[in-house]
């Protein structure tokens, strides 16, 4: 398939790649990588800030956690066999289910519009994905899982706190997470003018984190200068919040993997089949 040089120990050592990391790369892509692929991978690792070893970062590319049994109603066990996607698999998923044709009409206070601003999610991290656009349009699941109870009072409380912080210029923008999950909310909030670079939570399934539609969650943006004060207010309000990443000039990145330019999520108005991407 390729005519790349043989990857001997000298080449690997010069690139800073351990044997364990090479084996993990082979496991991820299913074959021996080329020099070009290794170079691209190292560039993505560099962009991720080298916050952990290359081997540790690669191990995180495929989340392996226990599935939450409460997601299933006990009568249909087929959902338990749904393979958890890797980060690179989610590029295909995102292009199939995320559509932002009407996002440009969002209110100004819901828009992330400055490169470098911090992004947080306020509320609980989603562990549910079966009752979502992702399940319906990509996995083609028709049966319904257990319905989680809504929490209207919690939603109103979080909205009140965040609106007050926005009015006091502590945060810049806020948008509630709904259809399409966190990924859709972020694509909407950037309105095709900016992108986002985020890290996911390794304690839950990747598809649940990105595309789960669990209620009572918001994404917000703020200046780095206000970060400490914002976190103090979240503590005082006893609200859970999760740092996601930063607003970019236009690229969309998840765990260091390039999902393309934000403009790609503003083109089509129909959902492609998974095989067509």
Domain ranges of the chain: 9-59, 75-276
Q: Is the pLDDT of residue 72 over 70?
A: no
User: Distance between CA 245 and CA 119 in Å, rounded?
Assistant: 5
In this structure, is the dihedral angle defined by the CA atoms of residues 116, 254, 63 and 51, taken in order, positive or negative? negative
Structural fold of domain 75-276: Phosphoribosyl-aminoimidazole Synthetase; Chain A, domain 2 (3.90.650)
Check: pTM over 0.75? Answer yes or no: no
Beta bridge partners of 275: none
Within 16-71, residue ranges assigned H as helices are 19-29, 35-47, 54-59
Mean pLDDT of the chain: 78
Give the least confident one: 91-95, 153-157, 188-192. 153-157
Question: Which one has a higher pLDDT value, 64 or 210?
Answer: 210
């Amino acid at each position: 398939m390729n005519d790349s040089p043989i990857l001997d120990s000298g080449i690997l050592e010069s690139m800073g790649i351990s044997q364990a990391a090479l084996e993990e790369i082979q496991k991820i892509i299913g074959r021996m990588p080329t020099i070009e692929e290794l170079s691209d991978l190292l560039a993505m690792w560099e962009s991720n800030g080298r916050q952990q070893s290359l081997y540790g970062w690669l191990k995180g590319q495929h989340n392996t956690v226990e599935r939450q049994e409460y997601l299933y109603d006990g009568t249909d066990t087929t959902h338990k066999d749904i393979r958890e996607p890797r980060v690179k698999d989610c590029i295909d998923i995102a292009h199939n289910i995320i559509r932002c044709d009407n996002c440009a009409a969002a209110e100004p206070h819901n828009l992330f519009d400055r490169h470098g601003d911090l992004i947080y999610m306020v509320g609980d991290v989603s562990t549910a994905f079966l009752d979502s656009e992702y399940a319906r349009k990509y996995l083609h699941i028709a049966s319904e899982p257990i319905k989680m109870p809504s929490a209207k009072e919690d939603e109103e409380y979080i909205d009140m706190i965040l609106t007050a912080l926005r009015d006091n210029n502590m945060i810049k923008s806020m948008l509630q997470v709904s259809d399409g999950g966190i990924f859709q909310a972020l694509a909407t909030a950037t309105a095709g003018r900016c992108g986002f670079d985020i890290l996911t939570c390794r304690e839950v399934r990747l598809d649940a984190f990105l595309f789960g539609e669990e209620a009572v969650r918001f994404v917000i943006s703020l200046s780095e200068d206000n970060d400490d004060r914002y976190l103090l207010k979240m503590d005082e309000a006893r609200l859970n919040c999760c740092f996601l990443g930063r607003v970019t000039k236009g690229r969309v990145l998840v765990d260091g993997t390039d999902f393309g330019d934000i403009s790609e999520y503003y083109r089509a108005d129909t959902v492609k089949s998974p095989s067509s991407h």
